[in-house]
Structure 1
Amino acid sequence: MGQIAFLLIGSESVRQRWFVMAGLGAFLAAAGGFLILDAQDGETLFPNGVLGFVFLLEGLFAILTALAGQVGVSRTISALKAAGLIVIGGLIIRYPDANTYILTVLFSAAFAIDGATRIGTASIVRFRNWRLVVAWGIFELMLALVIAADWPIPRAKNIHFCVGLLLLFSGWVLIRMSLMIRSLEPEAAILTLPMFGARAWYDHAPVLLGDDPHPKSSEAMVVRVWTPVGSADVANRRVVMDRYIAALDRNGTISTGHAALDLPPDVYISHYPAQEIEQSAGAFMNALRATADNDIPGRFQPSYEVERANWCDADAEVAFRNFNARRLRAFWIGYRQENTYNLTNRNCSVAVASALDAALEGTLASPYPWLRLLRLMCNPDLWVAAAIRAHAETMTWTPGLVLDYA
């Protein structure tokens, strides 16, 4: 979530006050380390009931996420997550010492499920640095075993241990981010920082030199999405699969949908494979790996008019008025130098999501960046966007994810 917040605020607003972020990170890391150490002996300075408010607050944010524009299954999943967090927080507050076993099972299951999911998706897609993701997943599985085994952390102190880990990791991220922003050149995009480079999607992040030769755009930037269901004749609906991954039409062909970004008159980002990928179920599974052997030549559509004439109208659109057209053009100039297409690493949705990030950098810049950051952290839409981005980074961007992200 911090990535998106700092992307919107921009590095220029934060660079001169980087030490504030570093100080906050150091405080959180110290607090987390203290809680972890405090959990290893028999006495704790912070009662479980106090820490229960952390889960309660997380649950309230999850409720806001569910109400912030989500529909259907997405809202149901967010609502269930919120209910679970609130129940856990309520149990900790009401019965701080009487739910040790239940909380141990919940914490252990959460780490185990997340770790197994990371290992599974990374092993299938095999994007750059996928082994690090697998290693992190293994660490989560080991952490689940430690929590369940009642050693070396006493079971009664699992709450302190888990909250401490959360604070320690958050503090480390803030310290790392502050040091990166301090050393970032003014001309470079914040997207060039390593924290955005896990999937190499921002290798073409803009570097701006000199004045902008283009006048300020009066046109809206429009994200156009052809959902898998909207662009195919689908017989049997599978709500989550159909929206976020792919749909199976009546002929047994897989439809993945499409995404494009349009800024008239000179920017239209629509990345296609030069030759249609075989869309049978077996071929589709083989193409999921983000390795170089699945790279194929691609092509760029010239305009929305040409695309709709050759195919069909997009069934969803999102328009933006507040964006940086110069950064968008700079990104597009770099991206289109290479037409390589990869189903899970350099597809149409990856191009659109990356271009959208480039165009929105610094759009919420403020002379008071920390107040802006606080407001953003309380914005449920940002929590939704962060969850979507995290999912995309573990698998890939799809038209459905791009639509929700936009």
Structure 2
Amino acid sequence: MVRLMMILLGVDYLRARWRGVLLMGALSALVGLGLFLDALDGVLHFHIAPFAWILLVEGLATLAVAWTGMGGQRTLRYLKGASFCATAVLILSGYRHGSFILSMIFATLFLADGVLQIASAWVVRYRTWRLAVAGGAVEIGIAVFLYQPYPTHYKGTVPYCLGLVLFFAGWNMLLLALRARRLAVNPAAAQGGRAALAASAVGAAADGPTLAQKVFDGPPAPQEHALTVHVWTPVGTSKSEARRQPVIDRYIAAVDRHGVISTGHAALEAPERVYISLYPAIEIDRNPDEFARTLRATRENDVPGLFQPDYATESQAWCPSTRQVRIRNYDPLRLTRFWQHYREDTTYNLTHRNCSSTVSHALEAALEGATPRVWGHGWLAFARMLATPELWVAAQLRKRGQTMAWTPGLTLDYARALSMLADPRPSGWTRMVRLVRAKGLREARARRGSREAASKAAPDPDADEEGGQQREA
């Protein structure tokens, strides 16, 4: 998550505030370590009930406004609210097996993530795969610690997990502060190679585009100035009906009823005549016997690639993209500079340098320093970004893309999460108040219209009385 925060906050913002970030990181790490050690003897000096009440209130508040979200944002809010409420109920209920249930859940999550990280790193063999294996081993060790009852017979599960969260969050902030202390260019761009570093260096002196708004009710309209991430999903590009395989056909590949494999595609388009779409110039051999070797991000698997000229040409030759993510708040200078350097190398690698990784790196170059542009250059930008659930989702997706391989499905979800950070939507409460107020105004106008219609239809008693007097005369 450190690299993602460096990208979104930008070099200038972090370099000016590295001391404050360092202090917050040190405090968080110390509190987390103290809480973890305190729970080892089974006698808790830290009262967990107030924390559980905070979780419950936050969960209920999130569920109350979850319906105001859009698409994946709504699903994420429901998931977050339900998880917080379930955890709080298990803690506060006093159920004797509550700590055991939480231990099994947390341990299984750590175990699954660690095994997946080690397996993917071993297969793909990217440059820093040994560090990923070590990180996965640490996660498996934490899972084993949570699975077995020693030393507190599961009573310390919640303090353990809370302490680990605070410790690793503080550790990440410490790394962020130390790296930001003497930055000239953003090292988070190193994943994109020389092109991303050049884009960061050239754009460091620019303030980026000026936005007329700071909060947006929804995605950009078709006529608005925005970059577009095009994604051809595996299912959407199958020549015939695909066999539904949850997760696999979403993030890896789809297989139709004739056995034809579709992996999808990704591209990025910007109004500045930038179109980034990398494709292998020669078809890659996908022989099942050589499949494991083909997945390795090594030089022997590099093949010549080519860049498509524009979206109109590519969509006409193939088909229109099935999903689009549009973002207003981006830096055209950084994106253009990235593209000028990146297209000098046409190498294609199935897992290390493919269409999806190219789009993800270009998107990161375009969004460097995006958060302060909408939330200001004070500490509010830092706090609001940390409190946004999409940051944590984007960090996990980026981790999967770096340790496994970027796929069109991962790139689509990554672009959606980043769009919520670059083009922030109104808070759930703000949106709910706005919707309730609009509903009240509509109902008031409807009642007023009904009263006016009723008054026009009703007979005038004065006129009836005057008419009766004339008839009597």
- Pick aligned residue for 1:403 from 412, 415, 429: 412
Name the amino acid aligned to 2:87: I
Q: Which moved more, 1:226-235 or 1:360-369?
A: 360-369
Distance in 2 separating the partners of 1:77 and 1:325: 30
Question: Which residue in the other structure is 1:386 paired with?
Answer: 395
Name the amino acid aligned to 1:114: D
Question: Which residue in the other structure is 2:192 paired with?
Answer: 201
Distance in 2 separating the partners of 1:265 and 1:55: 46
Question: Which residue in the other structure is 1:163 paired with?
Answer: 162
Deviations 1:293-319, CA, capped at 9 Å, x for gaps = 222111111222221232222222222
| 1:375 corresponds to 2:391 | no
Question: Which residue in the other structure is 1:174 paired with?
Answer: 173
Distance in 1 separating the partners of 2:61 and 2:118: 27
Distance in 1 separating the partners of 2:116 and 2:383: 31
Question: Which residue in the other structure is 2:431 paired with?
Answer: none
Question: Which residue in the other structure is 1:311 paired with?
Answer: 318
Task: Kindly report the root-mean-square deviation, in angstroms, between the aligned alpha carbons of the 2 structures.
Answer: 3.3
Question: Which residue in the other structure is 1:99 paired with?
Answer: 98
Residue 263 of structure 1 and its aligned partner are, at CA, apart by: 2.2
Answer yes or no: is the 8 Å Cα contact 2:12–2:204 preserved in 1: no
Distance in 1 separating the partners of 2:173 and 2:61: 21
Residue 155 of structure 1 and its aligned partner are, at CA, apart by: 3.3
Alignment of 1:71-150 (within 5 A): 83-95=82-94, 99-150=98-149
Question: Which residue in the other structure is 2:49 paired with?
Answer: 49
Name the amino acid aligned to 1:386: A
Name the amino acid aligned to 2:43: E
| 1:151 corresponds to 2:142 | no
Distance in 2 separating the partners of 1:375 and 1:210: 23
Answer yes or no: is the 8 Å Cα contact 1:65–1:78 preserved in 2: yes
Answer yes or no: is the 8 Å Cα contact 2:41–2:151 preserved in 1: no
Deviations 1:275-308, CA, capped at 9 Å, x for gaps = 0223465555542222222221111112222212
Q: Which moved more, 1:363-372 or 1:54-63?
A: 54-63
Residue 70 of structure 1 and its aligned partner are, at CA, apart by: 4.1
Question: Which residue in the other structure is 1:16 paired with?
Answer: 16
Residue 239 of structure 1 and its aligned partner are, at CA, apart by: 4.0
Distance in 2 separating the partners of 1:61 and 1:256: 40
Distance in 2 separating the partners of 1:54 and 1:109: 25
Distance in 1 separating the partners of 2:331 and 2:61: 30
Name the amino acid aligned to 2:398: R
Distance in 2 separating the partners of 1:254 and 1:78: 34
CA spacing shift, 1:211–1:153, aligned 2, 3 Å = closer
Residue 101 of structure 1 and its aligned partner are, at CA, apart by: 2.7
CA spacing shift, 1:136–1:5, aligned 2, 3 Å = closer
Residue 119 of structure 1 and its aligned partner are, at CA, apart by: 1.6
Listed as ranges, the gaps of 5+ residues in structure 1 are none
Name the amino acid aligned to 1:204: A
Residue 170 of structure 1 and its aligned partner are, at CA, apart by: 0.8
CA spacing shift, 1:253–1:283, aligned 2, 3 Å = farther
Distance in 1 separating the partners of 2:66 and 2:391: 9
CA spacing shift, 1:369–1:398, aligned 2, 3 Å = farther
Distance in 2 separating the partners of 1:210 and 1:142: 41
Higher helix share: 2
Alignment of 1:337-376 (within 5 A): 337-365=344-372, 367-376=376-385
Name the amino acid aligned to 1:18: W
Answer yes or no: is the 8 Å Cα contact 1:40–1:154 preserved in 2: no
Percent identity over the alignment?
41
Q: Which moved more, 1:336-345 or 1:153-162?
A: 153-162
Distance in 1 separating the partners of 2:272 and 2:140: 51
| 1:238 corresponds to 2:245 | yes
Residue 13 of structure 1 and its aligned partner are, at CA, apart by: 2.1
Distance in 1 separating the partners of 2:289 and 2:77: 32
CA spacing shift, 1:67–1:393, aligned 2, 3 Å = farther
- Pick aligned residue for 2:306 from 290, 299, 302: 299
TM-score (normalised: structure 2): 0.74
Name the amino acid aligned to 1:253: V
CA spacing shift, 1:252–1:78, aligned 2, 3 Å = farther
TM-score (normalised: structure 1): 0.85
Residue 203 of structure 1 and its aligned partner are, at CA, apart by: 4.3
Answer yes or no: is the 8 Å Cα contact 2:294–2:301 preserved in 1: yes
Name the amino acid aligned to 2:108: A
Where 1:40 maps in the other structure, the secondary structure is: helix
Residue 105 of structure 1 and its aligned partner are, at CA, apart by: 2.4
Answer yes or no: is the 8 Å Cα contact 2:2–2:176 preserved in 1: no
CA spacing shift, 1:240–1:106, aligned 2, 3 Å = closer
Where 1:334 maps in the other structure, the secondary structure is: helix
Q: How many residues align?
A: 395
Residue 162 of structure 1 and its aligned partner are, at CA, apart by: 2.0
Answer yes or no: is the 8 Å Cα contact 1:68–1:380 preserved in 2: no
Question: In terms of Rg, which structure is larger?
Answer: 2
CA spacing shift, 1:172–1:382, aligned 2, 3 Å = closer
CA spacing shift, 1:223–1:104, aligned 2, 3 Å = closer
Where 1:259 maps in the other structure, the secondary structure is: strand
